[in-house]
Amino acid sequence: MAKKSPQRSFNDVLSLLGNQRFDVAPAQEGAKRTPNAFQVRKNGCAAEIAAAPDGTVMMLSHPGWVLNGEISTLLDKGYQKFLKTSHVEIPATADKLRAIHEFSEELNEATGATSLYNESLGTTSDVYMYDRVKGRA
């Protein structure tokens, strides 16, 4: 069953994240061009958030490891997980996966997002690209 924390306002979340040792800064130019977007960082991981129309938090990018200043996406190729940005793709190590998972859990708890069972077991990938299904429509 999904566990849901109480919904918090965007300003409350920003102050809470600052108190929990997250680095909170205005998002860079590529943040889906959303005004007043913020990048949240901790332990080498980052995500981008903004205020939703109802005053709560909206996730602009999934949490990921920061590579060369860019938030990576987690790519699962069946035999190995990779961290991918627009310029580089590297194998994901257990330490990086653990850091992304812990970052995601802390961010979800702070924002009041729904905590799903399969996500609480470990890190879930953003993209699944297995060899046997590559090229199928």
> pLDDT tens digits for 37-89?
899 999 999 999 998 888 888 888 889 999 988 999 988 887 888 999 999 99
Structure letter (DSSP) for residue 133: G
User: 6: pLDDT confidence band, cut at 50, 70 and 90?
Assistant: low
CA distances from 12 to 15, 27, 38, 64, 111 (A): 5, 18, 14, 23, 9
